[in-house]
Amino acid sequence: MLELDHLRLMLGAFTLEADARLEAGGITALMGASGSGKSTLLAAIAGFLAPEDGQVRVDGADITALPPGDRPLSILFQDQNLFPHLSVAKNVGLGLRSDLRLDAEQKKDRDAVLARVGLAGMGDRLPRDLSGGQQSRAALARALLRRRPWLLLDEPFSALGPALRQEMLTLLRETAQAEGLSVLMVTHDPADARAIADHTALIAGGVLHPPKPTAPLFADPPPELRAYLG
Amino acid sequence: MTAIGGRRDGPGARIGRAAAILVAVALVLPLVAVAWRAEGWGGLAGSDWAALRFTLWQAALSAALSVLLAIPVARALARRTFPGRGVVVLLLGAPFILPVIVAVLGLVAMFGRSGVVNTALGWIGVAPVSIYGWQGVILAHVFFNMPLATRLILQAWLGVPGERLRLAASLGFTARDTFRLLELPMLRAVVPGIFVVIFLICTTSFAVALALGGGPRSTTVELAIYQAFRFDFDLSRAALLGAMQMALGGAAAFLSLRLALPSGFGAGLDRAVPRWDSAGPALRMQDAVAILLACTFLLLPMILVLGDGIRHLIDLPVSVWTAAGRSLGIALSAALLTTALAMAMAVATIARGRNGWIEVVGTLSIAASPLVLGTGLYILLLPVVNPIAMALPVTAFVNVILALPFALRALIPAMRNLDRDYGRLSASLGLSGWSWLRLVALPRLRRPAGFAAGLTAALAAGDLGVIALFASPDQATLPLVLYQLMGAYRMEDARAAALLLVVLSLGLFWLFERGGRRA
């Protein structure tokens, strides 16, 4: 379980309050208008923004002061998920060892994961030689290899076309289920949430509204969601 | 706001802060030693004040001439496209890393007593003009700084928005209208800054004054320090003159903090703005003449020296080759140390907390005077070790300090970009320390690091400053040997040595810069 305990974030004049619990083992969508603070909240959970007040806990352990790389989570950004000068295999291998000194066993693991996301045999290529969808797959492969219980996604597929995006969401859903990953996914598109999210939380007016089961939420939207959906 | 930097405050940042403190100490300690050794202004002779006056007026005149001559050349390059334009722009960048003493030799070949110009003047019955004296000092300063001014002004010229020129064309502006309404305001904005920068460069002139000036009416403060030190061995007077140069440098530092100092290697000069107002044959001719004259002024001295040098290269005495070896050693160690220091300091600037002072330290060292640093180090070393024995390490060290601002200017912005683009990704993967350096920083920063190393190597290889202060004959570097050959009128050997020095300097720059581009 990911707990945001009376979390208060400040970024310049912008403030965001979050007090919620996110269930482990499913996909939670985080929705809100652009500028509502979705990415800011994700940055705080991932350790890039120190909260003014409050705690972030995972399974009861306070991680508020941990550096980003030591948190029990992986994160996929909107872009710049791969180092452009490192091969795909190296980019993915970073998920196992940040100094890339992999032994034979680890290399086998890495290649297995690459095959899993449909990138078998492409390890030697540079990111620029991959399509957008393949780049997303490589980043996802690395997150899988890190084996952290939580996966945060900051609209990572937003640059993809509709068909590819659908494909990536499906891949995400399947792998999350198979690996027992808990996913928190930022999106501004209600269709994404409806497609794969078990729960959906809304950020509006500087406040995080705790997650609710997606289907009933959209069937009978509360006022702030109705305002967002228009 | 308490945004955590992408990277943790790791050992890299600590090393960088230590490096910055080291540089600050290395800058300040010699100054303190100089100030401590100086004993009251009474020790200054009238000739010392004359040196200050000369330093100021020659710098002002050199800067004014450089800027004035640069304007027509920059305008021509801004509004014309022709095959070879890129080469001309590249040529304008070359004097920045050309060893001063080589350029001096070239100017002597062109303007000296038996040079091309005086020979031509002789044919039409005009008495020969001497290059030695204030006129030679200023000529050499213009040779070095007119190209710099041209590049900087060209950059500003290309910054005039194309939309505005299109509007001017639709209103039927003549070239004169465009100049009055668009270009003059642009020049008024950028020329004062460029003038000040060149003025500052010329106030620390040593090698040019050493080779071409030196009489009572053409001695700069830097040269006076050298003379007090080397000829009179009057440490106290050298220190006093050092204090005078420090005051000049202090004013320079103050100004340079206010001005955005140009880098000397402007980016994006590879295009010309389309123009509709200057297609007439008279204007085309005017621009062609400006570019041709500038190229002749820059190239002919070099062709005279280097072309002659090739023929005598194999006759060079072994001592010259040994000196070249020493210069290579100095260049490589200075390049390595400067790049490592600049890299560490750049890491520290992206770490958490207030690190703005690191950049200030780097900028301040641009106002450092090599001769004052040298004098200070001599005073500091004297109680501990024979300073003469340390001539080569001291030379390398002073060059590290002098090249650092340029290295930082290349590496800090690149490091900021790296942090902005990949800081979070690195942090989220727990990439830090040596792994981060090896896998992320070094590969991504190859270009600016290669540029910094190349620039430092070229400047250090060609440096004729502090080495003249310290060196005994058995430790001479290539520029010093070249200067001595010139003084002994062994012009054939001097030209061959000049060729060797150019190959060494520009070759090192090219190698490092290329190395950074590959991959």
Lowest mean pLDDT among A54-58, A88-92, B486-490: B486-490
Fold match, B1-36+316-519 / B60-309: yes
CB < 8 Å to A75, chain B:
428
A vs B: CB pairs below 8 A:
75
CB of B2 within 8 Å of a chain A CB? The answer is yes
Q: What pLDDT was estimated at residue B394?
A: 92
Q: What pLDDT was estimated at residue B269?
A: 62
Statement: residue B253 has pLDDT above 70 = no
CB < 8 Å to B6, chain A:
48
pLDDT, average across residues B21-48: 80
Q: What pLDDT was estimated at residue B519?
A: 53
Q: What pLDDT was estimated at residue B376?
A: 87
Tell me the C-alpha distance between B28 and B440, whole Å.
34
Q: What pLDDT was estimated at residue B280?
A: 79
Statement: residue B263 has pLDDT above 50 = no
According to CATH, the topology of domain A2-72+148-229 is: Rossmann fold (3.40.50)
pLDDT, average across residues B32-38: 81
CB of B447 within 8 Å of a chain A CB? The answer is no
Reduce the DSSP state of residue B213 to 3 states and report it. Answer: coil
Instruction: Write out pLDDT tens, residues B96-113.
Output: 889 999 999 999 999 988
Statement: residue B264 has pLDDT above 50 = no
User: Mean pLDDT, chain B, as a whole number?
Assistant: 86
Which superfamily does B60-309 belong to? MetI-like (1.10.3720.10)
- Structure-token pair, residue B131: 């290059």
Neighbours of A23 (CB within 10 A): 12
Contact between A75 and B428 under an 8 Å Cβ cutoff? The reply is: yes
How many residues are present in chain B? 519
Beta-strand relationship, A27-31 and A182-187: parallel
Neighbours of B250 (CB within 10 A): 13
Q: Which residue of B has its CA nearest to A71?
A: B428
State the smallest CA–CA distance between residue A77 and chain B in angstroms: 8
CB < 8 Å to B434, chain A:
99
Give the nearest partner residue to B4 out of A11, A49, A86, using CB atoms: A49
Show which residues on chain A lie within 8 Å of chain B, measured between beta carbons: 10-12, 46-50, 52, 67-70, 74-75, 77, 80-81, 83, 85-86, 90, 94-95, 98-100, 142, 146
Statement: residue B265 has pLDDT above 50 = no
Give the nearest partner residue to A83 out of B430, B440, B519, using CB atoms: B440
CB contact under 8 A, A98 and B421: no
Instruction: Write out pLDDT tens, residues B354-392.
Output: 677 887 787 777 667 888 888 888 888 888 888 888 899
- The string of DSSP codes covering B105-151 is HHHHHHHSTTSHHHHHHHHTTPPPPP-SSHHHHHHHHHHHHHHHHHH
Q: What pLDDT was estimated at residue B156?
A: 86
pLDDT, average across residues B440-459: 93
Reduce the DSSP state of residue B503 to 3 states and report it. Answer: helix
Instruction: Write out pLDDT tens, residues B293-321.
Output: 999 999 999 999 999 899 988 888 999 99
Q: What pLDDT was estimated at residue B9?
A: 62
CB of B440 within 8 Å of a chain A CB? The answer is yes
In Å, what is the CA distance from A180 to each residue of A131, A151, B1, B236, B399? 28, 11, 36, 79, 59
Give the nearest partner residue to B422 out of A68, A80, A99, using CB atoms: A80
State the smallest CA–CA distance between residue A82 and chain B in angstroms: 8
Query: Phi/psi at B105 (nearest 5 deg)?
Result: -60, -40
Structural domain boundaries in chain B:
1-36+316-519, 60-309
pLDDT, average across residues A28-33: 92
- Structure-token pair, residue B498: 């000049």
Would the CA dihedral through A216, A222, A228, B1 be positive or negative?
A: negative
CB < 8 Å to A80, chain B:
421-422, 424-425
Q: pLDDT higher for B504 or B171?
A: B504
pLDDT band at residue B7 under the 50/70/90 scheme = very low
What percent of chain B is modeled with pLDDT above 70? Answer: 92
Q: What pLDDT was estimated at residue B6?
A: 42
Statement: residue B289 has pLDDT above 90 = yes
Domain B1-36+316-519 sits in CATH at 1.10.3720.10
pLDDT band at residue B45 under the 50/70/90 scheme = confident
- The string of DSSP codes covering A24-84 is TTSEEEEE--TTSSHHHHHHHHHTSB--SEEEEEETTEE-TTS-GGGSSEEEE-SS--S-T
CB contact under 8 A, A46 and B439: no
DSSP 8-state symbol, B238: H
Structural domain boundaries in chain A:
2-72+148-229, 87-146
Q: What pLDDT was estimated at residue A164?
A: 87
pLDDT, average across residues B422-444: 90
